[in-house]
């Protein structure tokens, strides 16, 4: 991270603006839609995940500071009880699996999301066993690479009111990321603290834009927005996998 070329620094800055926008604009997906791009800059998930995780904690805290009462605590506790163990299994997988395997996992999982967005296939659940499967799968993906949000959101949208959804998800992301970062700290993974000084402002720009666009996106343009993003992500994942 300390020896990047100029184009890599510029690309990283722009990608963190993008992740900040997606995270606050949609309420999820900053890592899922940003990590595949970052892996094109440096193909090592352990470099990017601590940076993404710290940013998520920082900005979710700001967003929740004035909205702590608009959270569905009962369902959040129920979902966490299901997700904790597969989440931890995923985190230890991140630490033990070969880096190239993790990169391929990220691109294949993101490619699945991208195709769903592109063809407007809505991941949804109407049965308890489907909820359970999606939460476990999403928790494992979040543990490995913080890209389990689309699977988890598919369940939460069925059980949490629309006006509580984003804030409830922010609390969930906060808890899951605290667990993940704690394990990474224990494993002595480099968090690249000095790079937060210039990456946090980049993410802040995207965060502010996303907050202003959130109501507009949720009003009905989200599907078209996701479809465009899906098409772009398909190309990104193909390039990443070919590399």
CA 132-222-80 angle, to 5 degrees, is 25
Residue 202 lies in a domain: yes
DSSP string, 200-219: HHHHHHHHHHHHHHHHHIII
Tokens of 109: 């999982």
Q: Is residue 128 one of the residues assigned to a domain?
A: yes
Mean pLDDT (the chain) is 86
Domain hosting residue 199, numbered range:
6-242
Q: What size, in residues, is the chain?
A: 243
Dihedral sign for Cα 170, 174, 175, 181, please: positive
What DSSP designation does 194 have?
G
Q: How confident is the model at residue 211 (pLDDT cuts 50, 70, 90)?
A: confident
In a domain, 190, yes or no: yes
Residue 220 lies inside a defined structural domain of this protein: yes
pTM to 2 decimal places: 0.85
* Cα 22 to Cα 133: distance, rounded to the nearest angstrom: 25
- Identify whether 71 is part of a domain: yes
| pLDDT tens per residue across span 115-171 | 988 888 888 877 889 999 999 999 999 999 888 888 998 899 889 988 888 788 888
Q: Would you say residue 164 lies in a domain?
A: yes
- Using the predicted structure, report yes or no on whether residue 221 has a pLDDT greater than 60: no
**pLDDT at res. 77:** 94
Q: Tell me the mean pLDDT in the region 105-117.
A: 91
Supply the pLDDT for residue 146.
Answer: 84
In a domain, 132, yes or no: yes
- CA 122: distance to chain centroid? 18
Q: Is residue 1 part of a domain?
A: no
What's the structural domain count of the chain? 1
Alpha helices in 120-195 (DSSP H): 128-145, 149-159, 162-186
Which residues touch 68 (CB under 8 Å, ≥6 apart)?
A: 167
Contact at 8 Å (CB) between 165 and 156? Answer: yes
């Amino acid at each position: 991270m300390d020896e990047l070329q100029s184009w890599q620094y510029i690309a990283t800055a722009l990608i963190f603006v993008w992740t900040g926008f997606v995270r606050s604009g949609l309420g999820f997906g900053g890592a899922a839609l940003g990590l595949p791009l970052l892996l094109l800059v440096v193909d090592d998930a352990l470099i990017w995940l601590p940076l993404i995780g710290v940013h998520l904690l920082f900005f979710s805290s700001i967003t929740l500071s004035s909205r702590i009462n608009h959270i569905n605590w009962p369902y959040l506790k129920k979902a966490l009880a299901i997700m904790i163990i597969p989440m931890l299994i995923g985190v230890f997988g991140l630490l033990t699996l070969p880096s190239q395997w993790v990169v391929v996992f990220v691109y294949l999982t993101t490619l699945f999301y991208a195709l769903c967005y592109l063809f407007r296939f809505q991941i949804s659940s109407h049965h308890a066993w489907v909820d359970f499967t999606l939460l476990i799968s999403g928790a494992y993906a979040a543990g490995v690479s913080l890209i389990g949000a689309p699977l988890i959101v598919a369940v939460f949208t069925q059980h949490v009111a629309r006006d509580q959804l984003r804030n409830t998800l922010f609390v969930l992301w906060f808890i899951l990321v605290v667990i993940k970062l704690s394990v990474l700290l224990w494993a002595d993974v480099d968090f690249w603290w000095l790079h937060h000084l210039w990456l946090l402002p980049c993410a802040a720009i995207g965060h502010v834009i996303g907050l202003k666009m959130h109501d507009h996106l949720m009003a009905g343009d989200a599907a078209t927005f996701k479809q465009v993003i899906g098409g772009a992500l398909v190309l990104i994942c193909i390039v990443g996998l070919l590399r």
